[in-house]
Each structure stands twice: as structure tokens, then as C-alpha cells.
Structure 1
Amino acid sequence: MARIKIVHTTEYTYRNPVGLLRHRLMLRPDDSHDLRLLKTELEVDPAPANTLWKHDVFNNSVCFLKWPETLRTTRLAIVSTLDLLHHPDGQPLPHYSLDPGAEAFPFSYAQNEIPDLALLAERQMPDPDHKVDAWAQRIVADSGATETLKVLEAMTRAIKEKFRYGARYEEGTQTAAQTVELGSGTCRDFAVLMMEALRSYGIATRFVTGYLYDDTSGETRGGGSTHAWCGVYLPGAGWVEYDPTNGLIAGANLIRVGVTREAAQSIPISGGFVGSEDDTIGMHVDVSVSAVPIR
């Protein structure tokens, strides 16, 4: 278990005073068996006239900010501070935690689960040349394993070991096929690749956005900003998280903030402004994560 403090700062600057349209924030995790929120703070400058907290279609905690129509500003700063306790599984789950029918890969879901998982098991991106299909089949074959947990672990490790990681700050995500072709990507690209590869076998997956804290190894990739990984639904075990960017399994060193069907639904901060396109100077994001182990 660890006590985690996260300070996520986002600052937009404008060349001329602009009006601010409604903004949507996905920055606050919900309490869970592996995560307990101790304190949260949201600072916004200029201060909004209305701040409204809701849950979205995936039950993520989201915040909507709205400013007066008459307001004009050359700067918008949003600072989210979280103080929480995290106690993940941190290890691959044992075989006996899966339903017997899910122990061998690939497996099928029970009839009563299919209606709830159908869209999450459906491919979301085109793969006209079957590059993702071929890659997934090769990884499964090369793993030499038939057990579901070992196959998933092999796929997680293969992405970390065989693809080049590179930060990319502009919005958007590569298709899984592009990632296979390029042999490189960001954390969100790797999460999408693993999701689409598993969906090619009919396995339900979710995109997970949140934060990464280092285990002091100095080898984790994706810190200093928001991080992305994927969740896989395993009958008997439920949603198990895999971080192919770092080869992490079962939520180790990962603070989950939101889960979605696809990456485009997980933007931490989205919104617009009233003004000219040329008014935008830039956006600066800084994420500071500190962790103190608790024995």
C-alpha cells in the first residue's frame, strides 16, 4: 500500500482575450477497494460561475465548468490535487481465480454476460490488411502458452519489449494497425494495440486513463503526464488491468481515474473558447506524482 499525492496542472494561454465555453474534466478517481480518496482539491483561474460534478455513461466522475458569457481572459489554469491511498493486487492473478471456462485462451463469455460486454469485445478500428490480427496470432503462438493469464502476460511483455516508446503531446491516438506498422507509439497507442489485439479474439477490453507512479526502479515509462493502459474482463476475476507500456500487471503502480470503450472518450480536459484560431498560444501540462510506501 502507498500514500500518493498527485498535482495535475494544465495551463492554456491566449494571444488576445477570449471567452471560455463549457469545459469537461475527467481528473478525479472514484473510491474503490484498491483506492481510497483522502482529499481532493480543484483550483481554476479564472474561477467558473458554475462547477457541476456528474457521472458519465461509464460511471466515471466528471466535472463540468461554465463561465459567464461576458468573461474574457488570456489565460486558463486548472490545478487538480489528489491525496489518496493505493493498494493494488500488483501480481498476476492465480489460475484458480478464473472461471474454469476462461482458463484456456481464447475463451467465450457466458450468455448472460454477452449483452453487457458486446461493444467492449467489438473491434473499434479498421484493420484492412489484418496487421493486428496477424500480430496478435503471432504473439499468442510465440508465447507457447494456452493458459489465459500467461497469454495476457506474454502480450503485455511483448509490447513493452518489441515496440519503441516515444512521448507525443498532440491529441489523438494511432490506430492499432499503425502502431504495428511503425513499431513505436505512446502509452495510449500501446493500450489501444493490446485492446484491439484481444478484441480480435472476442475478449472484452476497456481503455483506462490515470496516473503512473514509479516503484523507484527508474525504468517506468509514461510519467510526468497522464498515463494510459487497458483493462481486460476475465470471468471469475473481473476487470484486470494491464500496462503494456511498462509490462505492469494487475494495477501495480497505476492510479485509475477513468475507464472508457475507446481512447477518444477519455480526454482529461476538453472544452473550447470564443475567439480566433490564431488566439491560441499553447497549452502546458505538468503532472507531479509522489508516493510514500506504507508498511
Structure 2
Amino acid sequence: MPFLNLSHVTTYTYRQPVSFGEHRIMVRPRESYDQHLLSATLDIEPRPSDVRWLQDVFGNAVAIATFDRPAARLVFDSRIHLMHEPADLDHVDIEDYARTYPFTYSSEEIPDLLRSIERQHLDPRRQIDSWARRFVGTGQTDTLTLLSDMTTAIRREFTYVARAEKGTQTPIETLERRKGTCRDYAMLMIEAVRALGFAARFVSGYVYNPTAHDQRLGGGNTHAWVRVYLPGSGWVEFDPTNGIIGNRGLIRVAVARDIYQAVPISGTWAGFPGSFLDMEVAVNVSVAGPPPVPVSVPDQKEPVRC
């Protein structure tokens, strides 16, 4: 049960002061049984005129910031201290009827899962379908083995290449090029498991090394992976970039049906053409000790906290 310190700093720089429109910030990890926020701060420079929080349709925590003065630099500095409880393959318990593939989701669950089963990308020559079918044996196939084999196959057969540019390859491009980033791999696996009838969602968050022996790809920036719905365990994590099954080394921030619903920071600015210079992102996750235990001091009033 490691305690983690997390820093995520995004800096935009401009040639001269520009004005800023509304910005949407999604960097606060989700509260759940396996990750518990102990403290969270979000500092923004220049200071916004207003910041309000909301939960989107997927339950992600989103900050909406508005500004009333121009600046040549815009910084979002998120600092998190959380407790993380890793779970792995041994903790995946699947209902009897879903332990072998193919299976059908129950009538109670299917209405809420349908949009997560729908394909998002065209596949006119059924390339994704054919690739996904290689993990299905003749007759019935163990469900968890199928998903695990697909996860590790992407890790083993594709070349991870970091890419700072915006955008994501289509699943077919990733399949043909045999290389990509974590977000490319996530979208490929989502489309592949959806082709087999599974409900899957895109996850944006952070990756870290739980021990000195673990070396994860995708650190130093936000990370992307997949959640697949398995009756009996619910949404289970699969990280094709690192071949991880379970949440060991993975911190969830945003869960969405499509990658474009899970962008960490988005917003607008107005100024002279060519004003934008650069965007820098620095993410650091370190294993830390538990928070200090409060000590009561006699004859002193404890301040009110909220």
C-alpha cells in the first residue's frame, strides 16, 4: 500500500501577452477503493478570476478556470498526495458465465454498456477484427487469457515511440506501422476488444515504478491504458504499453468512452498569430511515506479545517 507524491506541471509560453479563454483541467485522480486522495492542490499562474469544479458524465473531477488578464506564460501546477493499493491478475474474479469467451453481458448490465461496446473507428477491410480474432481459439477461450494475451502481444510485438505532437493514430495506422505511443496502443486495444463484443473505455492517468525492479514505459508525462468490463470484477485495467494487467503502477485520473473526452488540459487563447511558443509537461511520481500523525498540543486551540 504505497503512499505517492505526484507532481504534474504544464507550462505554455507566448512571445507576448495573450488573453485566455475558459480552460478545462482534468488532472485530479479519481477517488476509489484502490486509490485514496490525501491532499490535492492546483495552482494556476496567472491567477484565474474564477475556478469551479464539476463531475463530468463519467464521474471525472474537472476544474473550469476563467481569466480576466493577459499574460505571456500560463502554468498549471498540480500536486497530489495519495494512497494507492495495487491489485493484479490474482484479484480478477469473473462470473462463471463470463469466464470463457464468447459470452453475453447480462440484461441488467447491457443497457449501460452499449456505448462502450460500439466501435469508434472505421475498419472497412476488417483488419482490426482479423487481428483481434488471432487471440480467440477454436471453441471456447478463457476470457482473461484472451485479454492478457492481447495486452502482452502489443507490448512484445510493437515498438513504443514517444510522440509530443497532438493527436492519435487510428487503430489501423498503429496496426500497420507496428509502433506508436501509449495512447495509440490504448485505442488499438479498445477497438480490438470491442470488435469481440467487450465493453472497453479509455483511461488517462499516470504510471510509476512500484519497485526498483519495475521499469514502466510512458513515465514523465500522462499515460494511457484500457479498462474492460468483466462481470464479477467490473472494470479491469489493461496497459498494453507495459503489458500490465491490474492497476499495479497505474493511477487513474480520467475514464472516458473516447480519448477526446479525457484530455488533461484544454482551452483557448487570443492574440497575434505566431504568439504561441511552446508547451512543456513535467510529471513526476515518487513513492513516499505516510502522512505525519497529528499531535495534540495541550492548552492550544485547534484551528478549524474544512
Same fold, TM-score > 0.5, yes or no: yes
Question: In 1, distance between residues paired with 2:144 and 2:135?
Answer: 14
Question: In 1, distance between residues paired with 2:288 and 2:70?
Answer: 41
Contact 1:92–1:149 (CA under 8 A) maintained in structure 2:
no
Matches within 5 A, 1:95-106: 97-106=93-102
Residue 203 of structure 2 aligns with an amino acid whose one-letter code is V
1:220 equivalent to 2:228? Answer: no
The residue that corresponds to 1:210 in the other structure is 205
1:127 equivalent to 2:123? Answer: yes
Q: Deviations over 1:162-203 (max 9, x none)?
A: 000011111111111111000001001111111100000110
Contact 1:10–1:79 (CA under 8 A) maintained in structure 2:
yes
The residue that corresponds to 2:161 in the other structure is 166
Question: In 1, distance between residues paired with 2:125 and 2:105?
Answer: 27
1:254 equivalent to 2:283? Answer: no
Secondary structure of the corresponding residue to residue 228 of structure 2: strand
Matches within 5 A, 1:255-294: 255-292=251-288
The residue that corresponds to 1:37 in the other structure is 37
Question: In 2, distance between residues paired with 1:123 and 1:182?
Answer: 21
Alignment coverage as a number of residue pairs? 289
Question: In 2, distance between residues paired with 1:115 and 1:267?
Answer: 26
Question: In 2, distance between residues paired with 1:79 and 1:129?
Answer: 45
1:243 equivalent to 2:236? Answer: no
Structure 1 residue 92: deviation in Å?
Answer: 4.1
Question: In 2, distance between residues paired with 1:180 and 1:270?
Answer: 28
Structure 1 residue 158: deviation in Å?
Answer: 0.4
TM-score, reference length from structure 2: 0.91
Query: 2:144 aligned to 130, 141, 149, which one?
Result: 149
C-alpha change, 1:248 and 1:291, in structure 2 (3 Å) is same
The residue that corresponds to 1:82 in the other structure is 80
Residue 95 of structure 2 aligns with an amino acid whose one-letter code is D
Alignment gaps of 5+ in structure 1: none
The residue that corresponds to 1:194 in the other structure is 189
The residue that corresponds to 2:302 in the other structure is none
Structure 1 residue 145: deviation in Å?
Answer: 7.7
Structure 1 residue 141: deviation in Å?
Answer: 4.0
The residue that corresponds to 1:13 in the other structure is 13
Question: In 2, distance between residues paired with 1:196 and 1:229?
Answer: 13
C-alpha change, 1:194 and 1:282, in structure 2 (3 Å) is same
Question: In 2, distance between residues paired with 1:228 and 1:181?
Answer: 20
Residue 77 of structure 1 aligns with an amino acid whose one-letter code is V
Q: Deviations over 1:115-157 (max 9, x none)?
A: 1000100101111121111111113349x98110111111110
1:22 equivalent to 2:22? Answer: yes
Secondary structure of the corresponding residue to residue 156 of structure 1: helix
The residue that corresponds to 2:293 in the other structure is none
Secondary structure of the corresponding residue to residue 117 of structure 1: helix
Question: In 1, distance between residues paired with 2:56 and 2:204?
Answer: 14
Contact 2:118–2:194 (CA under 8 A) maintained in structure 1:
yes
The 10-residue stretch of structure 1 (58-67 or 275-284) with the greater mean CA deviation from structure 2: 275-284
Residue 38 of structure 1 aligns with an amino acid whose one-letter code is L
Q: Deviations over 1:50-77 (max 9, x none)?
A: 0101000111000000011xx1111001
Alpha-carbon RMSD: 1.6
The residue that corresponds to 1:59 in the other structure is 59
- Choose 1 or 2 for highest CA Rg: 2
Question: In 2, distance between residues paired with 1:270 and 1:252?
Answer: 28
Secondary structure of the corresponding residue to residue 272 of structure 1: strand
Residue 233 of structure 1 aligns with an amino acid whose one-letter code is Y
Contact 1:140–1:155 (CA under 8 A) maintained in structure 2:
no
Structure 1 residue 103: deviation in Å?
Answer: 0.7
Contact 2:102–2:140 (CA under 8 A) maintained in structure 1:
no
